[in-house]
Amino acid sequence: MNKLILYIFLVILFNCNETPARSEIAIINVNIIPMDSERILESQTLIIEHGIITKIGSSATVKIPKNAQIINGKNRYLIPGLMDMHVHIEESDLPLFLANGITTVRNLNGDKTHLKLRRKVDQGEIAGPRIYTSGPLICGKNTKWKIKAVPKSQKEVKEIVKTQKKLGYDFIKVYDGLTSDIYQALMEEAKEQNIKVVGHIPKSVGLKGVLNAGQASIEHIEKIVKDYFGIQYNLQNIMKVAKMIKSSGTFVCPTLALQENFYLNSQGKFLKKLKNPEMNYVDSEIMSWWKSITIENNGDVSKSKSTSNEDLGFYNFQLKLTKSLFDMKIPLIAGTDTPNLGMVPGFSIHEELRNMVAAGLSPYHALETATRNAAAFLGIENETGIIKEGMIADLVLLKKNPLINISNTKSQVGIIVRGKWYSKNKIQASINKIFKESLSKAD
């Protein structure tokens, strides 16, 4: 994508509404799914003033401010903005998140460009979801990713943690290949600096080790299976693991949809996914990478993240473990790991929610993983994640009820980010324009 065109697009999207931006919005006659419990408040009017929800009540009684922008919510459903809790983003992804109802992302391998992006969104210079970001992932020697920090000693890792905190990153991301000594030093310093640690389970530390050390989240349920169960998918041990995680207070971000893609690929059934309409928005370099690991293209599957156990048993066991963690009331958070195999920014959150339901969660509980649980992880549960008076207006308006069918999260009419309304049509038209322009420029 041409960087300048993209930048102009993001600025235009931010500053251009169908009607002039007003500081007051009234969504009238809408069905609200507040996500504080499984219920629907029917025929409500919700008032937003200066980005905050100031009034919710029956449409017959709530007074609409004189100059408010009015959005008709009749027969529609209002949910809290969605949060993708595991992404790897670029600036060009931002409109795709908005187009899919995502108002917050957690970026898990960040550098200075992400800090800059976060600042531009925060200051209202460009349109995009709220960004939380870790610093460069901290890992051992043999890690393929470009952004990384490779500490050689305990002293060095402490310096890295200190610096990342000072630069303003929101979390420390731990990755594979760390020695146990370096991991423990990292955790010590993170405690000292009061910064959360998220990420993988380094082999030298193991599941028990990361739980005891107080890691705030474990990414990929696949890692728990590989570390604790190996290839013995022993159902009897599931409860043991669930109890262990429960007592630690750690959040788990399963990234199931990615595992579904690995499974489909292992069966030679992945290629047709690359014909889905959202694939038009995938960067050509990333598409080439995906194609290079597609088995049907004689791709080298060893280049994909997982190299073994990619069969139905492995995928199904991850679903079962996810459900058991949910039953044990371990907080699950929805993350996609975009742009890993087949995970298109924004669109993939709906795939992850579908997988949560496939694991056995109800649509309501699946939605929790991308709203109130995510807000709780980020420590912003008093600001967003549920709909009530006093909360920030991060909202999504849907045509259909997502509690009946989770795929209804795709039926978007529009999104409100920090109190600003963007209709789906408007975002879509802008995206079409920018992608068409960048495509024709590439010809």
Q: Which tokens go with 220?
A: 């990929």
Contact 190, 196 (CB under 8 A): yes
Quote the strand ranges of 116-179, DSSP E: 130-133, 137-138, 148-149, 171-174
**Is residue 189 involved in binding Zn ion (CB under 5 A)?**
no
Cβ of residue 288: shortest distance to Zn ion, in angstroms? 19
Nearer to Zn ion, 111 or 337 (CB): 337
In this structure, what token pair is assigned to residue 57? 């009540």
Between 56 and 89, whose beta carbon lies closer to Zn ion?
89
Which span (64-72, 146-154, 314-322, 332-340) binds Zn ion, by CB under 5 A?
332-340
Least spacing, CB of residue 300 vs Zn ion, in Å: 20
For the bound state, the minimum distance from the C-beta of residue 348 to Zn ion, rounded and expressed in Å, comes to: 12
- Tokens of residue 39, six digits: 């219920």
* Cβ nearer to Zn ion, comparing 170 with 337: 337
State the pairing for strand pair 77-80/69-72: unpaired
Judged by CB under 5 A, the stretch of 22-30, 90-98, 156-164, 329-337 that binds Zn ion is 329-337
Residue choice 222, 260, 337, 352 for contact with Zn ion (CB under 5 A): 337
- Using CB under 5 A, which of the segments 224-232, 334-342, 353-361, 379-387 binds Zn ion? 334-342
- 127, 99 contact by CB (below 8 A): no
Rg (CA), the chain: 22
Comparison of 69 and 215: residue with beta carbon closer to Zn ion: 215
Task: Tell me the C-alpha distance between 142 and 328, whole Å.
Answer: 36
From residue 44, alpha-carbon distances to 62, 317, 388, 391 in Å are 8, 42, 12, 16
Nearer to Zn ion, 337 or 368 (CB): 337
The residue number with the shortest CB distance to Zn ion is 337
Smallest distance, Zn ion to C-beta of residue 177, A: 15
What is the smallest separation between the CB atom of 255 and Zn ion, expressed in angstroms? 8
Distant-in-sequence, close-in-space partners of 373: CB < 8 Å, separation ≥ 6: 251, 331, 332, 333, 385
Which range, of 47-55, 304-312, 337-345, 398-406, touches Zn ion by CB under 5 A?
337-345
Task: Supply the minimum distance, in Å, between the C-beta of residue 234 and Zn ion.
Answer: 27
Max CA-CA distance within the chain? Answer: 66
Looking at 172-180, 309-317, 333-341, 401-409, which segment touches Zn ion (CB under 5 A)? 333-341
Of the pair 134, 179, the CB lying nearest Zn ion is at: 134
User: Minimal distance in Å, beta carbon 3 to Zn ion?
Assistant: 24
Binding span for Zn ion by CB under 5 A among 204-212, 286-294, 336-344, 407-415? 336-344
Interface segment toward Zn ion; rule CB under 5 A; list 141-149, 243-251, 285-293, 331-339: 331-339
Whose Cβ is closer to Zn ion: residue 48's or residue 334's? 334
Helices (H), 22-130: 94-99, 112-122
For residue 267, the minimal CB distance to Zn ion (Å) is 23
What does the DSSP 8-state code read for residue 277?
Answer: G
- Smallest distance from the beta carbon of 346 to Zn ion, in angstroms? 16
Of the candidates 136, 81, 127, the residue with the CA atom closest to the CA atom of residue 107: 136
Q: With helix as H, strand as E and coil as C, how does 240-282 read? A: HHHHHHHHHCCEEECCHHHHHHHHHHHCCCCHHHHHCHHHHHC
Contact region with Zn ion (CB under 5 A), list: 62-70, 75-83, 285-293, 335-343: 335-343
Phi and psi, residue 126, nearest 5°: -135, 160
**Residue placing its CB nearer to Zn ion in the complex, 91 or 337:** 337
On the CB side of 226, CA atoms within 13 Å amount to: 19
Beta carbon nearer to Zn ion, 173 or 273: 173
CB atoms within 10 A of CB 230: 10
In the complex with Zn ion, the residue whose CB is nearer, 258 or 434, is 258
Binding residues with Zn ion: total (CB under 5 A): 1
- How much of the chain is in helix, strand and coil states, percent to nearest 5? 45, 20, 35
Tell me the closest approach of the beta carbon of residue 337 to Zn ion, in angstroms.
4
Map the footprint of Zn ion across residues 127-186, applying CB under 5 A. none
CA 224 to chain centre: 20
Least CB distance to Zn ion at residue 195 (A): 19
User: Considering beta carbons, is residue 19 or 142 the nearer one to Zn ion?
Assistant: 142
Tokens encoding 354: 């579908």
Burial of 141 (0-12, 13-18, 19+ CB in 10 A): exposed
Q: In whole angstroms, what is the distance from residue 64 CA to residue 46 CA? A: 9
- Find out whether 24 and 45 touch, Cβ atoms under 8 Å: no
Binding footprint of Zn ion on the chain (CB under 5 A): 337
